[in-house]
Amino acid sequence: MLAIHAGPEPAPRRQLFVGTAIACAGMVTLVGGMLATWLRLREQALDSGVSWVPKKVVISMVPANVMLLAFIPICVFAQWAVYAARRDDRPNTALAIGLTALMGLAVINAQAFMFAQLKMPVTGGAYNSMFYAVTITFVVLVIVGVGFSAITAFRYLGGRESDREIVTAHALYWYSLSAVFCALWFVVYVTK
Amino acid sequence: MTTIDTHATDVVGSSTTEALSGIVGWITTTDHKRVGRMFIGGGLLALAGVSVVGVLLGIDRASTSKNLIDVNALPQLFSIYRVGLIFIVLLPILVGLAVAVVPLQLGARSLAFPRLAASGFWTWMVGAVLVIGSIAANGGPGGGDRRMVAGYLVAQTVVLLGLLAAAVCVATSVMTTRAPGMNMRRVPPFSFSALVGAIGVIIGVPVLVGALLYSYVDYRYGGSGFGQSKDIFSHIGFGFSQPLTFVFAVPAFGIAAEAIAVATRKRLPMRGVMFTGFGLVGLGALGAVVQVPAGLRRDIVHVSFGTALNDIVPYVLINLLPVLGGLIVLGVGALALAAARPRVTPALVFGLLGSLLVFGGLLGNAVYLIGDAQLGGTVFEEGVRLLVAYGAVLAGLGGIAHWAPKLWGRAIAVKAVLPLALLGFLGAVLAAVPYLVAGFAKQPGDSTTFDYGGPEQLWNIAAAVGHLLMLLTVLAFVGLAMKSFGGRSTPATASGDDPWDAQTLEWATSSPAPFANFAEIHTIASAEPLLDLKEAAGRNV
């Protein structure tokens, strides 16, 4: 058998970061596709002279705006974690990851508050079911993000200090989710 | 030396303990080759089932007196046929092959995120069982049992999540685990096509997941927005149809390209052009993402230029560019074959015939979307889907025969497997082409009743025979593979480490490939590292 010369171990190519980026692309197309369907059905309803948002349904912008504003500190804290991890500053990394997760929980809380306040049945038309489908999908994505924060904290703070890549991947996920929510906020809550 | 000794040593122990540890080993495995084989095995098993359904539908369509199948059961059969063919047959076979082979081709010791790939398989399998179960229990699109219809929507989402997980692993592997010196232009054709296919899946399939989630929430709580169960397919049908299926079939072209290089024992010419061809076929993913009608309206020559352009641009981008991509791949392959005396290998025959069928599907789709052809709602679409799916599956079978030595250490007997390629090709042509013809006669796609007054019985019998031949092909292929996998090594199945005198890195390790694939990481200087060595050693010069 012919032998190929062995080379040195290849430099790591940021596998986790690339994998997260690819998964984020999938997340963007998931929510993007849902929003596109939302807009298409909304347009059809308006063209046929039917009100898209059911009467008596009033969506308060306060929790929606709170969620939007919460993503600003989420991005700052996620980047703070990356900054601190690069400097091997474990206390600051822990604090930043923890605050990111906490803000994620705040977003879930705001969404739950909106559901409770809305009192809109799931039945009743395309708007109702689509509203719940797209917002619950978003909540699931936030829960995944909070879980990602927990895993990042365990892996980085639990001894694998050299594994800074997961902190960067963690930040990328939250940035992508922020972008996704900006689109969702505009389509579902602003244009309605 | 590039190999490590992996030949199994005799283990002394009770047969029960061995069997149990074997089963546990398969369930908990993170070996990408095993995960890939499980995907392939599940896909082949489902293919046999889908072929049987195809035979039944063909016979029912051919019968003139009365329906052989209960009318109430027809929506379920159509659902199993459509859903099964794409997400329980086509994708798992090609994704499984990619999971098993791509890391070996890249010179990597493992797949990226092997646990994710393994969990992807189990997710897919559980979802597939639930999909079949829910459809069989009067669920699925057009089903009569509300709980089962809702259950189908959830199960279909689970199937897609499993496949997405595997696709993420394949794409990440190609991007991050290549051997030193292997830039993207040096990636083997199959791995590059797997990358294109995986990215297409990651971009296109989540849109289908979104549609399924909408449909589930709406249907589960009243069905007032998205309609009743019979309307579900109008919302999710794009995921089972063209042009999204083109993306799933891209690796078929990669297998053909790989086989051509091996058969000619020469470097593949114009690799960059061929890779562009893979990318163009992958543009079918746009069809799912943009969600716009990409057909040409009727009487398009009589509308204004601006209006016509609104149709022509998406039609060209989403439906004609993939045709160009297929043409490029087949053209470059034909040039390579013409410039050498190729050996006849199973991968070459299966790969070329399969790619030709997929290309036929690409062309058929372009015709289907011309409004003046008036083919919407006819069996023509089913014919196109069969060309793409059966073609890609045939190429996949060629890939399995090609890489069998690396997957389980023994080759599939070449003389026995070659006729199966022709049988499968004949089966696929017979199953699909009559529907293309019947489409012009307006035979409906979602019904078995059709009174044309022409030779429609002949068309439908031919289609049923085609499915039957495909079923025989699969059963015979699985039989040969099992014989090779479980039987003793015979002169026909014995394989060395490089039985095809091939060019790429997977043939530099032992057969079967060990758990960690390679003892050492190789540094390569061209796209054909083994050919470099052979040429340097004075062979094939």
End-to-end CA distance of chain A: 67
Q: Is B370 exposed, middle or buried (0-12, 13-18, 19+ CB in 10 A)?
A: middle
pLDDT of residue B293: 65
Is the minimum CB–CB distance between B179 and chain A shorter than 8 Å?
yes
- Under a CB-based contact definition with an 8 Å cutoff, are residues B512 and B37 in contact? no
Which site among B1, B207, B505, B506 would you substitute to test the A interface, given the most A Cβ atoms closer than 10 Å to its Cβ? B207
Q: What is the rounded distance in angstroms from the CA atom of residue A84 to the CA atom of residue B33?
A: 39
Q: Kindly report the three-state secondary structure assignment for every residue of chain A.
A: CCCCCECCCCCCCCHHHHHHHHHHHHHHHHHHHHHHHHHHHHHHHHHCCCCCCCCCCCCCHHHHHHHHHHHHHHHHHHHHHHHHHHCCCHHHHHHHHHHHHHHHHHHHHHHHHHHHHHCCCCCCCHHHHHHHHHHHHHHHHHHHHHHHHHHHHHHHHCCCCCCCHHHHHHHHHHHHHHHHHHHHHHHHHHCC
pLDDT of residue B489: 61
Q: What is the rounded distance in angstroms from the CA atom of residue A118 to the CA atom of residue B77?
A: 42
Which string of b and e fits B59-78 if b means at least 16 CB within 10 Å? bbbbbeeeeebeeeebbbbb
Q: For residue B297, what are the contacts with CB-CB under 8 A and spacing of at least 6?
A: B303, B311, B371
Beta bridge partners of B331: none
- Under a CB-based contact definition with an 8 Å cutoff, are residues B368 and B246 in contact? no
Q: For residue B406, what are the contacts with CB-CB under 8 A and spacing of at least 6?
A: B33, B101, B104, B506, B507, B509, B511, B512, B513
Residues 108-147 of B with CB under 8 A from A: 112-113
Q: What is the rounded distance in angstroms from the CA atom of residue B252 to the CA atom of residue B17?
A: 40
Q: How far is B23 from chain A (nearest CA, A)?
A: 30
Q: How far is A8 from chain B (nearest CA, A)?
A: 7
pLDDT of residue B9: 44
Is the minimum CB–CB distance between B386 and chain A shorter than 8 Å?
no
User: Which two three-digit tokens encode residue A192?
Assistant: 């309605």
Let me know the angle formed at the C-alpha of B320 by B319 and B324, rounded to the nearest 5 degrees. 130
- Under a CB-based contact definition with an 8 Å cutoff, are residues A184 and A35 in contact? yes
For residue B378, report the phi and psi dihedrals to the nearest 5 degrees.
-95, 175
Q: What is the rounded distance in angstroms from the CA atom of residue B54 to the CA atom of residue B466?
A: 9
**How do the pLDDT tens digits run along chain A, 192 residues long?**
456 666 666 666 789 999 999 999 999 999 999 999 999 889 988 898 888 888 888 888 899 999 999 999 999 999 999 999 999 888 999 999 999 999 999 999 999 999 999 888 888 788 889 999 999 999 999 999 999 999 999 888 777 666 788 999 999 999 999 999 999 999 999 987
Residues of B in contact with A4 (CB under 8 A): 2, 505, 508, 522-524, 529-530, 533
Residue tagged 């190929």 (tokens): A4
Q: Is the CB of A15 less than 8 angstroms away from the CB of B172? A: yes
Q: Is ipTM strictly over 0.90?
A: yes
Residues of B in contact with A6 (CB under 8 A): 2, 520-523
- Under a CB-based contact definition with an 8 Å cutoff, are residues A188 and A37 in contact? no
User: Which two three-digit tokens encode residue B316?
Assistant: 């060209």
Mean pLDDT for chain A? 90
- Among B382, B377, B405, CA closest to B463: B382
- Compute CA distances B501 → B85, B103, B497, B507, B510, whole Å: 34, 20, 9, 8, 14
Q: How far is B216 from chain A (nearest CA, A)?
A: 9
Q: Is the CB of A130 less than 8 angstroms away from the CB of B202? A: no
pTM: 0.91
**How do the pLDDT tens digits run along chain B, 541 residues long?**
344 444 444 444 577 888 888 888 888 888 999 999 999 999 999 998 888 888 888 888 777 666 677 777 777 888 888 888 899 999 999 999 999 999 999 999 899 999 999 999 999 999 999 999 998 888 888 888 888 999 999 999 999 999 999 999 999 999 999 999 899 999 999 999 999 999 999 999 999 999 999 999 988 887 677 777 778 888 888 888 888 889 999 999 999 999 999 999 889 889 999 999 999 998 877 777 776 667 778 777 788 888 888 888 888 888 899 999 999 999 999 999 999 888 999 999 999 999 999 999 999 999 998 888 888 888 898 899 999 999 999 999 999 999 999 998 888 988 899 999 999 999 999 999 998 998 888 888 776 666 666 777 788 889 889 999 999 999 999 999 988 887 666 665 666 788 888 889 999 888 888 888 888 888 888 888 888 888 888 754 4
Of A26, A125, A134, the CB nearest to B206: A26
Q: Is the CB of A8 less than 8 angstroms away from the CB of B524? A: no
Of B2, B113, B168, the CB nearest to A3: B2
pLDDT of residue B10: 44
Let me know the angle formed at the C-alpha of B127 by A130 and B21, rounded to the nearest 5 degrees. 150
Of B171, B172, B289, the CB nearest to A29: B289
- Which CB contacts under 8 angstroms, 24+ apart, belong to B153-156? B153/B212, B153/B215, B153/B216, B153/B219, B153/B220, B153/B232, B154/B130, B154/B216, B155/B127, B155/B128, B155/B130, B155/B131, B156/B83, B156/B87, B156/B127, B156/B131, B156/B212, B156/B236
For residue B41, report the phi and psi dihedrals to the nearest 5 degrees.
-60, -45
Of A15, A26, A127, the CB nearest to B202: A26
- For the four alpha carbons of B175, B176, B178 and B180, in that order, the dihedral sign comes to positive
- Among A52, A70, A81, CA closest to A172: A81
pLDDT of residue B91: 93
pLDDT of residue B531: 86
Which string of b and e fits A17-31 if b means at least 16 CB within 10 Å? bbbbbbbbbbbbbbb
Which tens digit of pLDDT belongs to each residue from A27-81?
A: 999 999 999 999 988 998 889 888 888 888 888 889 999 999 999 999 999 999 9
How far from the centroid of its chain's Cα atoms is residue B10's Cα?
A: 37
- Compute CA distances B498 → B187, B406, B461, B494, B512, whole Å: 19, 9, 44, 11, 11
pLDDT of residue B162: 96
Q: What is the rounded distance in angstroms from the CA atom of residue B241 to the CA atom of residue A170?
A: 35
Q: Is the CB of A34 less than 8 angstroms away from the CB of B529? A: no
Is the minimum CB–CB distance between B535 and chain A shorter than 8 Å?
no
Q: Is the CB of B521 less than 8 angstroms away from the CB of A13? A: no
- Under a CB-based contact definition with an 8 Å cutoff, are residues A22 and A29 in contact? no
User: Which two three-digit tokens encode residue B117?
Assistant: 């790939």
Q: For residue A32, what are the contacts with CB-CB under 8 A and spacing of at least 6?
A: A183, B207, B289
Is the minimum CB–CB distance between B89 and chain A shorter than 8 Å?
no
Which site among A129, A137, A141 would you substitute to test the B interface, given the most B Cβ atoms closer than 10 Å to its Cβ? A129
Of B206, B216, B524, the CB nearest to A33: B206
Q: Tell me how crowded residue B539 is: count the other CB atoms within 10 A of its CB.
A: 12
| Nearest Cα residue in chain A from B534 | A2
Q: Is the CB of B221 less than 8 angstroms away from the CB of A122? A: yes
Of B112, B218, B496, the CB nearest to A15: B112
- Compute CA distances B46 → B309, B390, B537, whole Å: 42, 13, 46
- Among B463, B377, B390, CA closest to B90: B390
Residues 270-299 of B with CB under 8 A from A: 288-289, 291
Is the minimum CB–CB distance between B20 and chain A shorter than 8 Å?
no
The three-state secondary structure class of B503 is coil
Of B3, B210, B224, the CB nearest to A125: B224
